[in-house]
Every structure is written in structure tokens, then in C-alpha cells.
Structure 1
């Protein structure tokens, strides 16, 4: 892969990290995700599919998840690790979900980039 392409992925990774540090997940998706993005969770959860396809469906999934959050106390995001057209970081959230106790929610987030946009996201927790 040419240095320009790797640099582009690095810039995208750093920009997405900036959004996540601020907890601005919705605007990150609007600005950085491809129309045909695919989002994959480690398993199907109540009310959430294992795999979600398309920018609108992924945005709807985010809205649904955000509506289940009572309060975000803190968000920490590691520096991105970049390999070719992919990158990852550790996202650590301290939050309170509606009707639940405060919790720590760590996950590894892996993203793939194509033509300057995120085309896939996969979460491991």
C-alpha cells in the first residue's frame, strides 16, 4: 500500500478518535461512514442484530443504543493502531444505562476504510 493511502487511513483513524473522545458518535457516523457501511457486534443482543448494514440502519442502531444510556460519565479512547486499510482502538466507557447500575464498558473497535470512508466497524467486548 502506498504511503498516501496509509496516511489517509491514519488521518481518518485520528479524526474518528477525536469524535469518540468527545462522545460524538452520531456526528462521526454522519461525516465518516460510507453509505454501505456494515456494523458487526460480537453477538446478537436484545433489540440489536449481530450485523447491521447501511448508513441509515447503523445510525438508527446508534440512536437506539444512545436512548438506552442514562448518563455517560467518561469516555477514553486509545491511540489508533493502523495496518493497511484498517485500524483499531480500545474504547473504554464509564456509563449508566437506564435502569441499571453504573458500569465500565471496554471494547476493541476495528474499522476498515475504503475510498476515504469507514466501510465496516466491528466491536469486541
Structure 2
């Protein structure tokens, strides 16, 4: 798959809520996932097992997922980016929060090898 094909398939699957299928189909076993410093999990993990653990941590924090909006991808060479906007309620909160992030992906040999997310992390309780 070309970078543009990977990008379009990732967006399609994410819009359908098929995140696990997206990872199985499109991600390298050695995926590197990078989050901003100051978030609720490690800022950099590598491998599908570590990525699954990060996803499990997210699901454990989530009380309710209200909505999601994913932009069309912009691709150049081996990279593509999208924006994701979500409305969620986290456990222990009594109101929805808006999440807005830029996601950048690097593709090699038809697989996502790096994903990096850009957003302002929420303050974490001490």
C-alpha cells in the first residue's frame, strides 16, 4: 500500500470505530507511538503489546465516548497527518471535555511505523 492508501484506510477504519482492526491491518509490529510529555501514560512506547496496553489504559479512564470527528488525511512522501476531535467524559468527571489533536504518521513498506500525537495534556491529579 502507498502512504496515501494507508492514510485513507486508517481514516476509514477510525471513522467506523474499528480501531483494533486498524492497528492489526495497518501497523508495523515495531510501531513507535509518541504522546506529549505530561499525559497520563508513557510519552513513548514501542511494539503492538505496549500500544495495546496504552489503549487499555485509555479505555479504563473513559466513562463515556460522545462523539468523534476525523479529518481527511494530508499525505507527503512517507508521512500523513489528520486531526481528531472528540467529546468524552472521563471517569471522576461530571462534564464532557473536548479533545483536539494533530496526529502524524510515518509509513514504511505499507505499514505505519510511527505515530505521534500533538495536543495540550490535561493536568494530572497529584
Normalising to structure 2: TM-score of the pair? Answer: 0.88
**Corresponding residue of 2:42:** 49
Greater share of helix residues, 1 or 2? Answer: 1
Superposition CA RMSD, Å: 1.3
Deviation (angstroms), 1:24? 2.5
State the distance in 2 between where 1:49 and 1:114 align.
Answer: 24
Equivalent pairs, count: 118
**Any stretches of 5+ residues in structure 1 without a counterpart?**
1-6
State the distance in 2 between where 1:80 and 1:45 align.
Answer: 25
Deviation (angstroms), 1:44? 3.9
Contact 1:71 1:97 in 2 (8 A): yes
Specify the SS of the correspondent of 1:29.
helix
State the distance in 2 between where 1:60 and 1:87 align.
Answer: 24
Specify the SS of the correspondent of 2:2.
helix
Q: Does 1:31 align with 2:25?
A: yes
**Any stretches of 5+ residues in structure 2 without a counterpart?**
120-126
**Corresponding residue of 1:22:** 16
Match of 1:91 among 74, 84, 87: 84
Normalising to structure 1: TM-score of the pair? Answer: 0.88
State the distance in 2 between where 1:110 and 1:83 align.
Answer: 11
Alignment of 1:1-125 (within 5 A): 8-46=2-40, 48-100=41-93, 101-125=95-119
Question: After TM superposition, what 4+ stretches of structure 1 lie above 4 angstroms from structure 2?
Answer: none
**Which stretch shifts more, 21-30 or 97-106?**
21-30
State the distance in 1 between where 2:68 and 2:108 align.
Answer: 27
State the distance in 1 between where 2:62 and 2:47 align.
Answer: 23
